[in-house]
Structure 1
Amino acid sequence: MNTCFQTRGGSLANTNNNKGMRINEQIRVREVRLIDDEGGQKGIVPTLDALKMAKDKELDLVEVSPNANPPVCKILDFGKYRFEMEKKLRDSKKNQKVLKIKEIRMQPKIGPGDLDTKAKHVQEFLDEGDKVKITIRFRGRELAHTDLGFGVLQEVLKRLTSAYAIEKPAAMDGKFMSMTISGKAKTNEVKSNAQDEDKEVRS
């Protein structure tokens, strides 16, 4: 059962929604290590005395470190404190970038001009902080020459102007060869075994 009560700071608090913190009469220990509303260390004091000090200032006694011995409590406006904590949490979530994987597709016999354009798009995605999956599509007899795909991937990497890391090395999956990279430490080689890939496709 959820029970709401009014804190001494004037806001409503839910006994089951206090972020795991106990406040005021919910604090049942005999004594606490007290921090006053100005940040001053008051040492270890009886809990009843700490509650009286908070009440005299029309503030709340909040248990901020329950695992300490004795628990650490602070005198503050709990409603305002909770609002500030929730605001910090919302702000931190806003600042978290959602990592996306962008895909660039091309053919093994791509021309130099188109290759430059594709590499430019890859660089733009990396600059935006996204991972990039580069996919080569093989058709018909092209499957007998997967080494061309490794060559194209190597040429793309040579055209990148910033550091990168190979998250997933080049590998065949049916008619497609793909490699995933991100913007980290630079590597200048495409890890491959073209002969093994040829044998696998031909069998």
Structure 2
Amino acid sequence: MAVLLNRLMLQSSIGRCFRKHTVKPDPAQLSLTASTPKLLYFIFAKGFSTAEDTHGEKKQKRKDAFTNTGRKINERIIRVLDEKGSDLGMMHRADVIKLMDKRDLRLVKRNTSSEPPEYQLMTGVQIHQERLRLREQEKANPKTGPAITKELIFSSNIGPHDLDTKSKQIQQWIEKKYHVQVTIKKGKNAEQPGNEMDEIFDRILQTMPGIATFSNRPKAIRGGTASMCVFRPLNKKEEKAYKDSQETEKRDTLSKDDRNKESDMCP
């Protein structure tokens, strides 16, 4: 019992001594220490500011512009068009570089969304002329912003009712000025004709007269197991040309009917 009392008294004494000799921090030091995390937070936020993101977006836009890609070809296998637009087929990037050196040509991207990506060999003069053409096209048809692309994928075995539903959906997107990328996968029926997918694309387009046209013509992808195209709204010039053709056709029809009536009235 005596030993326990002595231990308790010793612990109490040690506690008093510890509290007595403990150094209290200076309020000024506390203020400085509290402000330190704020400084660190400010530096962290600066490193991830939106200004740097905007700068990165601008660099990406310049990179995506129509320009010579040089000898840096990211893809191993690409589809190549020559300077006349003829399809040279799929080629290894090493063979493309050899062809560029041999014929003193440049390489530009044409369609990176296709499989494999599509490039074209061009002369320096052709690249300059294409840039001028694109610049004039932008002036004639100024864009308020980048076009939004919607996507649809379905099988060529699609039934008439489902195809009608898909066509209406595409038309709704076109009326909202969207581009629509449609991919049709070849059906499992081995006896199905090879042009079946192209006929489906044409049927879809026929449901939108005076509204849409092909931005990219249908082309085979995935080794011929699918076909893809992009529909886009008509621009103002194309809309006017369509209306003029419809009015001309209407006048010709009325004129033909009048001639038939006159012919019937003659004895």
Q: TM-score range by the shorter chain?
A: 0.3 to 0.5
Say which one has the larger Rg. 2
Which of the pair is proportionally richer in strand? 1
TM-score normalised to structure 1 length: 0.41
Does 1 or 2 have the higher relative contact order (CA < 8 Å, sep 6+)?
1
